[in-house]
Amino acid sequence: MSADLYLIAPAGVPAEILGPALKATLAEHTVAALLLPRGNLAENAYKTLVKSIAPLAQKAGAAVLIEGEPGLVRLLGADGLHVPGGIKAVREAIEALKPDLIVGAGDIHSRDDAMRKGELEVDYILFGPLSGTITPEDREMARWWAETMEIPSVLSDPEAGFDGYEAEGCEFIGIGLKLPESAR
């Protein structure tokens, strides 16, 4: 089974750098979803980033997911919310956004954590980091989830390339958006 691409933008990168990198990636690859992590951006800077970048991805057919408060999703024209928090944050997002918008859960620490968040009827569970290197434990947990559960899974391997990645049976592979050398 081939996994769909779940592109993860680097946090804190301004739209004037992120936009061209995203356009280049979308010209070469079919992307199912784009996550725009908030990182350390102030709320107004994050809103500006999302309003600038989201239309580029959506025009190419990618769902745009943001981080933050559920109310920001509709306000910014995003397609859903990625919730890195605990059960309470996931529950609040589901109550505010479902069934019309996407709610995904990340920051999974154990099988029990994944199952508890999955029972809330999220649209996906993300295993692994949003930046950096994935651990063997994250890979194993993602493989177990993909083999056992019906809720779609994202194996987040931000350092993976677009070719030759291993999705461990997951429906989506999370790959970090690569920036030009001059922007790093």
Residues in CB range of 23: below 8 A, 6 or more apart: 56
CA 20 to chain centre: 19
How many domains does the chain fold into? 1
In the chain, the percentage of residues whose pLDDT exceeds 70 is 98
- pTM reported for the whole predicted model: 0.96
Question: Tell me, what CATH number does 49's domain have?
Answer: 3.20.20.70
Q: Which of 100, 117, 116, 106 is nearest to 38 (CA)?
A: 106
d(CA 91, CA 14): 31
Query: CA–CA separation, 28 vs 150, rounded Å?
Result: 30
3 state SS of 89: helix
Tens digits of residue pLDDT in 31-65: 999 999 999 999 999 999 999 999 999 999 999 99
Average the pLDDT over 110-118 and give the result.
Answer: 97
Q: What percent of the chain has pLDDT over 90?
A: 91
C-alpha closest to that of 139 among 156, 125, 162: 156
- What phi, psi does 121 have (nearest 5°)? 70, 45
CA distance 1 to 21: 28
DSSP-based three-state secondary structure for 102: strand
Q: Note down the domain range covering 174.
A: 4-183
